[in-house]
Structure 1
């Protein structure tokens, strides 16, 4: 892993096993070992592209690889890389109090619709590649059961994958490709705690053109799980008050099979 920052950088516990994250003032440093460089590079490029559209979010401050000059306070490299970005103002969505949930859902629905309306995105996340990723995770027996519902944990991962494969023809017949976040969960969406406007998105490593339901599925289930909220205000503000339940289920099932 890239050498940890010096004492004026504070570690941030974000629950990732393959990266280390630090904060200093209004900047964050995400560091990885050699095996994580490609993934971190992909996140850097997506942050840069989204910032170029004017959409709210972080900006890239610095990019450090083994051949980079010694950065201020970031120590020496051990073969990895480090992405330094600006902090997004506001608070993550999972920390908002219940009284703000209804209005925040409406703001979030409008913001996600704006993201999905962006054009000329150079990144893609084809369904075939996502299913191939899930197939590999299942083959390696690397599915994290913590990401599964109680119902899904009663089945073998291979049985869950079989459900995905069986539904694939239907999903492909109704695909609506848009610019998706790829991990549109509440901790990755920041809000102004006073106005409840969305101030930015973080963790953009999966951003790219994909079916709009890949975002809608994750966001709606997060609203239910984290806020115990009916996602109707979010879906109404987004513009799909009567969503396709079959597509929501498909992408909710597919996502936890891709993280191993």
Structure 2
């Protein structure tokens, strides 16, 4: 795209570009439905008071689609210095609490569909080993999926459906580097009604992996200092099986 700077960070299958304070995500015909879903989620979240981007333009044709959104101010969480980690973790806990308190969300991401997605990725042998821990790499993806399936009845018995981000990783959360307040959530393609632990588990493991940080300040700020370790582990294991 002439005049646009390619953005190479992130795991998106779309091509991403930036020009000034506007981002553009572009996809071919096969990705239009997914990108359209993200557009709808960005528009919905923009009307809730939770900080994030707004839609600038949407172009769709037989060749694919382009979603243009405003840039979110601040810096991504994975770029913050160690001195900022505790304050940012608390801010992250508060914004996820506010997100999970929203009502009227028209999008759903039921556990059954997430597990089915994981089953499909495993069946296609498409699990990315880079997303697995050293311990998990010692097992076959099908064996990891068996652990998920075994724990699923327990998780379903205690489900707490709320509005979830769906990919609550530190690169998807922007912060004001001075105040450490969250300035916006990005990459909303998986936003929808899901179990609150699907967000909490990702945030906790990100704090550990990216910051080597104690998750206690995050969980306390969220309002759940005694989080259920079984549910944290379940969603921590399920997530990497759904990308592929």
* TM value normalised by structure 1: 0.93
Tell me the secondary structure at the aligned position of residue 100 of structure 1. helix
Quote the residue 2:58 is aligned against: 63
Unpaired runs of 5+ in structure 2?
none
- Count of paired positions: 244
Q: 1:194 aligns with which of 178, 190, 193?
A: 178
Pairing 1:112–2:113 present = no
Large movers: runs of 4+ above 3 Å: none
Quote the residue 2:43 is aligned against: 48
Q: Do 1:58 and 1:88's aligned partners in 2 also have CA atoms closer than 8 Å?
A: yes
**How do residues 236-255 of structure 1 correspond to structure 2 at under 5 angstroms?**
236-255=220-239
**How do residues 218-257 of structure 1 correspond to structure 2 at under 5 angstroms?**
218-257=202-241
Q: CA deviation at 1:54?
A: 1.9
- Larger Rg over CA atoms: 1
**How do residues 1-260 of structure 1 correspond to structure 2 at under 5 angstroms?**
5-6=1-2, 8-16=3-11, 18-66=13-61, 79-260=63-244
Q: Do 1:143 and 1:157's aligned partners in 2 also have CA atoms closer than 8 Å?
A: yes
CA RMSD of aligned residues (A): 0.8
Q: In 2, distance between residues paired with 1:259 and 1:145?
A: 10
Tell me the secondary structure at the aligned position of residue 17 of structure 2. strand
Tell me the secondary structure at the aligned position of residue 125 of structure 1. coil
Q: Deviations over 1:54-92 (max 9, x none)?
A: 2110000000111xxxxxxxxxxx711110000000000
Q: In 1, distance between residues paired with 2:5 and 2:17?
A: 5
Q: Do 1:18 and 1:33's aligned partners in 2 also have CA atoms closer than 8 Å?
A: no
